[in-house]
Structure 1
Amino acid sequence: MEPVFLILLLLVAVIGGNVLAKHCPHIPQPFFLIGMGCLFAFLPLYQGFRLSPDIFTLAIIAPLMYNEAESVSRYWVGRGIVNILSLAIVLVILTVLVVGVTVHGLLPALPLSLAFALCAIVTPTDAAAVSAITPANDEYRIPQTILENESLFNDASGIVAFDLALAAYVSGKFTVGSALVDFGREFFGGLVVGAVIGLILAQVRQLLIRGGDDSPVVLVTLELITPFLLYYVADLSGFSGILAVVAAGLVQGIEREQLRLTASRMQQVRRNVWALITEVLSGLVFVLLGISLPRVMRLVWHNQQLKWWQLLGAGVLIYGLKLGLRLIWSRYFVWMHTPSAHRWLDSWLMALSGANGTITLALAFSLPLVVNGQTFALRGSLIFMAAVVILLSLLVPSLVLPRILAAGPTMNQVQAAWTHRLRETAIAALIAQQDQYPSETLIVSDALRQQFQRQNMPNRRQQRQLFRQADTAEEAVVSTWADQGKLTASEARDYRRFLQYSRFTVDQRWWKNLILRLWFSVHMGRLDRNLQTAQDTFMTSPLVMEQIFWQREFEKKNADIRPMERAGYRAAIAALDQCQTPDNRTAVDVIQRYYHERHRRINLANPDENVIYQLFLDAFHAEYELVQTAFAQQEITAEVAQTLQHQIILDEASYLENRTTFLA
């Protein structure tokens, strides 16, 4: 029971790190995840907590590498095969040898084989780790594409080099010739085993699809067990399990591309499942680093062979040498496909963006606890140096890249701005039909406005202030109508009670919500003298019940609430429009939605489901047209256009899944 609870708490830490990273986009997400792990390290439950090193290779590295291989662009791999071989094999071997010999020379207490293993750990790159701060224009598209396609093969080469170096340390024997032979055997043997099994599984998937057995529970589950099966078989055969997983992923990717529009639902579910698994596994690794850091720091502090400052300096040196080698190699030994006016900037981008991420950290944790029957004393030191390199590789690009490139907004900023334009365009497309379909237009436009909250969280203080301004405007209309004799004293008193309860309702605090549910339940049950009515009322939102209740209260006295509500609504909306600014736009939308909902339920006809469907189609069509026009006029890149199109598709799917909720 306790292990399950410990894992669940780790997932809570992953959630917390992701939430914090969302609100601080300029700080790499791993820093927040490591911080959450450090906090968890002080909990009694996690004192001495550690996972078996084998778990990291099998349960984390294998599925991540499989998904990366399956998702990589076969087109760009084919075009960039020379650069991939140059960066992912030649540069990896050169880095391991040069940096490893240098570190061993400065730290003789660190065996040469372990120095090579440490350098192999920090060779895998993670271009996505710093993607949030890289420029979004096509000017730097080629180096970014090279980075994305290099990453997969770089990871594979680094893992194989790590396995060989670690095996040399355990056996105590190392010669360059035998190391190269072992490297080739593991490398190519793993590729062959993975390709063969991958082809067999691809044929099985095709047979299942042709037979109509293409449900997600069958095909996605089969795909989820594939990397674990492949790794086990290849490792048992004496080849590289990771390279087998990579080869199978490439084969499965080819088969997936051939599906095109076949088994569409399965493909969508697959993407969602793998996206979730990848994010969770990557987050867990960094949280575990945070949990392990205090223990690692204690081990490093008490290490008599290698002082903490020596390890810190070695980590900085490794990062500096690795960065220098990548910079020179990118400048003189990488083909950019097209002439570039800023060749050195391209090289700096490729060097700095070769950050270390999940695979590097998982490799560090996969170091054995015991070697030849003895506790592996240097394990903590190696993890500490790897952590220093990882943190530097994430921190330095965050500080340097925005300054040396000066290339305008990042990809995330561009996508956020255009997503905002999508919503504005969709809402504007509905205005022309507002007079013909007032109730339905309010429903659809409010649903679209609600999406602005994804980018800007409404401020509760602003909401309360804005509601007070709208409420004051409506109160003024009530007083004017009462003075003019349009409302009797009783009607004015009842309407002010209606507004008083509205102030309570709109606050939306849980305890106020509960009080309102009880109050409306008792009074509606008393009006109908029916217990079932009271139960139904309690289960209905107070935002809905207040309009129903007060309409019935006015009707009971032979009065009509609608004219006064109509005038009050117009005054409140006008007041909100007048005080709207770019800073309070989201808060204004929240308050306006409340007034729209109230006005629709009291004064407008019941909405027509078919009209709502048509209006949503019109809104989505307007968004598609905006993307098409912007792309045709080269205002956005193909990547941004595809992201926006995918967002529209998701919105359409969400509407179709929840159509009935828009009639509530």
Structure 2
Amino acid sequence: MDIVFLVLLLLIAVVGGNVLGKHFPRVPQPFFLIVLGLLFAFFPLYRGFQFSPDVFTFAIIAPLMYDESKNVSRYWVGRGIVNIFSLAIVLVLLTVLVVGTALHWLFPLFPLSLAFALCAVVTPTDASAVSAIAPESKEYRVPQTILQNESLFNDASGIVAFDVALTAYISGQFAFSTAMLDFGKEFLGGLLFGAILGLITAAIRQQLIRWGDNSPLVLVTIELITPFVLYYLADQIGVSGILAVVAAGLIQGGEREQLRLTSSRMQMLSANVWEIINGMLSSLVFVLLGISLPRVLTAIWHNQQIPWWELVLAGVLVYVLKFSLRLLWSRYFVWTHKPSKHRWSDSWLMALSGANGTITLALAFSLPMVVNGQPFALRGALIFTATVVILLSLLVPTFALPILLKAGPTQGESALKWSRHMRLTAIHQLEAETDHPSEAQIVLDALRQQFQWRQVPHRRQQRQLFKQADMAEEAQIAELLADQKISQREQDYYRRFLRYSRFTVDQRWWKNLVLRIWFSMHMGHAYHDVQTAQDTFMTSPIVMEQVYWQDKFAQLGKDIRVLENEGYQAAMAKLTMVQTAANRTANDVVKRYYHERHRRLAAEKPDPTIIYQLFLAAFHAEYELVQAELAAGRMTTDVANTLQEQIIFDEMSYIQNQSAFLA
């Protein structure tokens, strides 16, 4: 039970860190996750918490690398193969050898093999860790693309270099020629083994698709277990499990490109599942760092032979040397596909964007706890030093990259602006619909609600607008009574209807329960039938409201729809008159309430076919806008892709919830 509770708390921290990172984009998200982990470290349940290094590598690094390789662009990998070899293999090995030797020379507490292992840990770059910091810029599109492709392959080469260095430390023997031979064996052997099993897995999946067994349950499950099976088998035969996973992921990505529009539902569900898994695992690593830090710091504090400040200096040295090597290498040994007017700026961008993130931290945690039967005394020191490098690699770009790029609005901001314009276009087109006003109003309310979810209405404004609309409606009914067009009893009934109608539309669970009880009691009493009361209780209060009040007015020989139409027109006229730019959001919410009430009571039952056609017309208007603006050059392809994805998701949401628009 404690394990289940522990996992639940970890997931809560992951959610909290991601929410905070979204609302405070200037602070790197990993910082929030680390702080939440630190808070959890004070819980009795987490004291002395340890995560098995083998399980950590198997359960976290393997699926992360598989998903990353599966989503990489094969086109850009092909075009940038020279840069990938240069940055992800040659620069990684050079960094390990040069920085590791300097670290051992200046800080003898680190044996040479462990110094190499530490440098291998901090060579993998995490492009996503900087994406929230660095604004996107067309001017720097080429170096940013190179960074994304590099981050996959230097992860793999860094992991292999780490394994070789760690093996040398444990065995007590290190020879350069032997190390290079082991590196080649693990690197090439892992790629070959992963490619073979990846092809076999892809063939199995394709055959299942041909047989019609392409349900997401079957194919997505196969894809989920693939990285774990591959890693385990590769580890058993002595080659790099991580590179086997990378090779299989590349083949899986190629299979997805071949499928194109085949098994579309499976591909979409697979992408969604992996997005969630990737986000959770990436965040979980930083939460676990926060939980483990107090234990690591305590061990360092009690170890008088390794002062904490010396480890901080070691971390700073590693970061500065690694950064300097990366800057010079990016300037003189990276091919940028086309001439650049700001070659040094490109190099600074690539050096600053060499941030360390999930894979670095995961590798640090994968250090063994026991070496040759004895506790690994330097494990805490290595994790702490790696943490210093990670924090520096996140903090420095936070301040430097925005100054370097000096970009305008980001793609996210541009997409948000176009999204609003796109939806307003659909609304304006439907506002001209006169043949089916009731159905058009349903679709318009759904489209306007998309704005209201993002713009929370001011509660005080909303209450004032409801009060003003109520007063206008009451005044209209009082005028009808004064003109003797309705009776006193009709007015009393209508006032009761107004009170209960507002109560009904709120739809909170306790109000829903109260209304079910109230309507069932009254309908059971009116018809003297227990079955009627029971059926009423099981019916939605929104539906029963219409039945109940129509029945009440029918007992007077009147039709509530006549009065409701008068009140509706008066309330809408008042809301239109008092609408301002400041209260527009709240005004739209109140108007939507009156639209829904009027439709339920006064309008005929909506035709689902007409609603379907109007939604299609709205989506078509949005598609046409995107196509026109893209053709005119006023919208980028990336923004158009984002908007098209929004429309597709809106269409899917409507198809899956069609009945909700008929209530």
TM-score over 0.5 for the alignment? yes
1:171 corresponds in structure 2 to: 171
1:236 corresponds in structure 2 to: 236
CA distance in 2, matches of 1:576, 1:396: 52
Return closer, same or farther for 1:134/1:637 CA change in 2, 3 Å cut-off.
farther
CA distance in 1, matches of 2:439, 2:456: 26
The letter of the residue matching 2:523 is M
- How far 1:459 sits from its partner (Å)? 4.8
1:80 corresponds in structure 2 to: 80
SS at match of 1:161: helix
Alpha-carbon contact 1:524-1:537 (below 8 Å) kept: yes
CA distance in 2, matches of 1:137, 1:569: 51
1:423 corresponds in structure 2 to: 423
- How far 1:248 sits from its partner (Å)? 1.2
Alignment of 1:173-188 (within 5 A): 173-188=173-188
- How far 1:452 sits from its partner (Å)? 2.4
- How far 1:598 sits from its partner (Å)? 0.5
Alpha-carbon contact 1:125-1:151 (below 8 Å) kept: yes
Of the structure 1 ranges 511-520 and 244-253, higher mean CA displacement relative to structure 2 is found in: 511-520
CA distance in 1, matches of 2:532, 2:327: 73
1:330 corresponds in structure 2 to: 330
Return closer, same or farther for 1:535/1:90 CA change in 2, 3 Å cut-off.
farther
Return closer, same or farther for 1:562/1:88 CA change in 2, 3 Å cut-off.
same
1:277 corresponds in structure 2 to: 277
1:119 corresponds in structure 2 to: 119
CA distance in 2, matches of 1:418, 1:132: 21
CA distance in 1, matches of 2:451, 2:290: 34
CA distance in 2, matches of 1:467, 1:356: 53
- How far 1:485 sits from its partner (Å)? 4.1
CA distance in 2, matches of 1:531, 1:391: 69
Gaps in structure 2 of 5+ consecutive residues: none
1:610 corresponds in structure 2 to: 609
Return closer, same or farther for 1:335/1:48 CA change in 2, 3 Å cut-off.
same
Return closer, same or farther for 1:152/1:296 CA change in 2, 3 Å cut-off.
same
Cα deviations by residue, 1:547-569 (Å, 9 ceiling, x for unpaired): 44333322322233323322333
1:66 corresponds in structure 2 to: 66
The letter of the residue matching 1:627 is V
The letter of the residue matching 1:501 is Y
CA distance in 2, matches of 1:237, 1:155: 21
- How far 1:570 sits from its partner (Å)? 3.3
Of the structure 1 ranges 163-172 and 414-423, higher mean CA displacement relative to structure 2 is found in: 414-423
Return closer, same or farther for 1:564/1:390 CA change in 2, 3 Å cut-off.
farther
1:367 corresponds in structure 2 to: 367
Pairwise CA RMSD: 2.3
Cα deviations by residue, 1:129-164 (Å, 9 ceiling, x for unpaired): 232343344222222211111111011111111111
1:6 corresponds in structure 2 to: 6
Alignment of 1:300-449 (within 5 A): 300-433=300-433, 435-449=434-448
2:46 corresponds in structure 1 to: 46
Alpha-carbon contact 1:136-1:414 (below 8 Å) kept: no
Return closer, same or farther for 1:385/1:429 CA change in 2, 3 Å cut-off.
farther
Return closer, same or farther for 1:87/1:501 CA change in 2, 3 Å cut-off.
same
- How far 1:62 sits from its partner (Å)? 0.7
2:590 corresponds in structure 1 to: 591
CA distance in 2, matches of 1:524, 1:316: 77
Alpha-carbon contact 1:326-1:351 (below 8 Å) kept: yes
1:152 and 2:152 aligned: yes
- How far 1:261 sits from its partner (Å)? 1.8
- How far 1:343 sits from its partner (Å)? 2.9
CA distance in 2, matches of 1:317, 1:464: 61
Alpha-carbon contact 1:56-1:362 (below 8 Å) kept: yes
1:298 and 2:298 aligned: yes
Return closer, same or farther for 1:558/1:63 CA change in 2, 3 Å cut-off.
same
1:34 and 2:68 aligned: no
1:556 corresponds in structure 2 to: 555
Return closer, same or farther for 1:528/1:296 CA change in 2, 3 Å cut-off.
farther
SS at match of 1:304: coil
Cα deviations by residue, 1:191-237 (Å, 9 ceiling, x for unpaired): 11111111122222222222222222222221211111111121111
Return closer, same or farther for 1:595/1:391 CA change in 2, 3 Å cut-off.
farther
Return closer, same or farther for 1:258/1:500 CA change in 2, 3 Å cut-off.
same
Of the structure 1 ranges 44-53 and 148-157, higher mean CA displacement relative to structure 2 is found in: 44-53
2:518 corresponds in structure 1 to: 519
Of the structure 1 ranges 250-259 and 336-345, higher mean CA displacement relative to structure 2 is found in: 336-345
Of the structure 1 ranges 473-482 and 151-160, higher mean CA displacement relative to structure 2 is found in: 473-482
CA distance in 1, matches of 2:642, 2:293: 37
SS at match of 1:213: coil
2:568 corresponds in structure 1 to: 569
The letter of the residue matching 1:267 is Q
Cα deviations by residue, 1:221-260 (Å, 9 ceiling, x for unpaired): 2121111111112111111110111111112222221112
1:637 corresponds in structure 2 to: 636
1:98 corresponds in structure 2 to: 98
Return closer, same or farther for 1:207/1:317 CA change in 2, 3 Å cut-off.
same
Return closer, same or farther for 1:411/1:488 CA change in 2, 3 Å cut-off.
same
Alpha-carbon contact 1:547-1:598 (below 8 Å) kept: no
Return closer, same or farther for 1:214/1:519 CA change in 2, 3 Å cut-off.
same
1:653 corresponds in structure 2 to: 652
- How far 1:493 sits from its partner (Å)? 2.7
CA distance in 2, matches of 1:462, 1:30: 38
- How far 1:81 sits from its partner (Å)? 0.9
- How far 1:575 sits from its partner (Å)? 4.1
Alpha-carbon contact 1:134-1:410 (below 8 Å) kept: no
Return closer, same or farther for 1:543/1:89 CA change in 2, 3 Å cut-off.
same
2:206 corresponds in structure 1 to: 206
- How far 1:541 sits from its partner (Å)? 4.5
Alpha-carbon contact 2:137-2:405 (below 8 Å) kept: no
Alpha-carbon contact 1:132-1:411 (below 8 Å) kept: no
The letter of the residue matching 1:442 is Q
The letter of the residue matching 2:154 is N
Cα deviations by residue, 1:422-460 (Å, 9 ceiling, x for unpaired): 222222221111x21122112112222222245334454
Alpha-carbon contact 1:87-1:150 (below 8 Å) kept: yes
- How far 1:582 sits from its partner (Å)? 5.9
- How far 1:507 sits from its partner (Å)? 5.0
Of the structure 1 ranges 290-299 and 565-574, higher mean CA displacement relative to structure 2 is found in: 565-574
CA distance in 1, matches of 2:165, 2:280: 29
Alpha-carbon contact 2:553-2:559 (below 8 Å) kept: yes
1:259 corresponds in structure 2 to: 259
Alpha-carbon contact 2:349-2:404 (below 8 Å) kept: no
2:474 corresponds in structure 1 to: 475
Alpha-carbon contact 1:132-1:412 (below 8 Å) kept: no
1:662 and 2:661 aligned: yes
CA distance in 2, matches of 1:248, 1:94: 27
- How far 1:88 sits from its partner (Å)? 0.9
Of the structure 1 ranges 35-44 and 146-155, higher mean CA displacement relative to structure 2 is found in: 35-44
Cα deviations by residue, 1:627-651 (Å, 9 ceiling, x for unpaired): 1112112222212211211221122
Return closer, same or farther for 1:88/1:584 CA change in 2, 3 Å cut-off.
farther
Return closer, same or farther for 1:464/1:89 CA change in 2, 3 Å cut-off.
farther
Cα deviations by residue, 1:470-517 (Å, 9 ceiling, x for unpaired): 334433433444444444333333322222234444555544443333
Return closer, same or farther for 1:582/1:196 CA change in 2, 3 Å cut-off.
farther
CA distance in 2, matches of 1:471, 1:600: 18
CA distance in 2, matches of 1:322, 1:579: 63
CA distance in 1, matches of 2:581, 2:131: 28
CA distance in 1, matches of 2:569, 2:647: 32
Alpha-carbon contact 1:214-1:266 (below 8 Å) kept: yes
